[in-house]
Amino acid sequence: MIVKLIDFLRDRLTLVVRSCYVLLALVVLTDMLFVSKEHAHTALERIPGFWSIFGFVACILIIVFSKWFGHMGIMTREDYYDK
């Protein structure tokens, strides 16, 4: 069941990416229109969509760091213990 879903989404990757961009835009738009900014603690919080963009960038950085960390030491050659 889950394998079929993954294959379905993999075959339509451009649609998935565009859907994520649309979802991000909707979250930013919702933040701009419906979230009150009068009780913001910092100046950055007054920027429309700041927390949505912050979360998106943080997610990308976590992925990039995890891949870098994995390639630096966690992923080893298959013959590592043979030598």
Q: Backbone dihedral region of 49: left (phi > 0), alpha (psi from -120 to 50 degrees) or beta? A: left
Q: Mean pLDDT, to the nearest integer, of 10-29?
A: 91
Please give the helix or strand (H or E) that residue 41 lies within, else none: none
pLDDT of residue 56: 84
Mean pLDDT of all residues in 45-51: 82
Please report the pLDDT score of residue 81 as a whole number.
72
What are the CB-based long-range contacts (under 8 Å, 24+) for 32-39? none
Q: Give the model's confidence band at 65: pLDDT under 50 very low, under 70 low, under 90 confident, else very high.
A: very high
Q: What is the mean pLDDT of the chain?
A: 86
Domain residue spans of the chain: 2-74
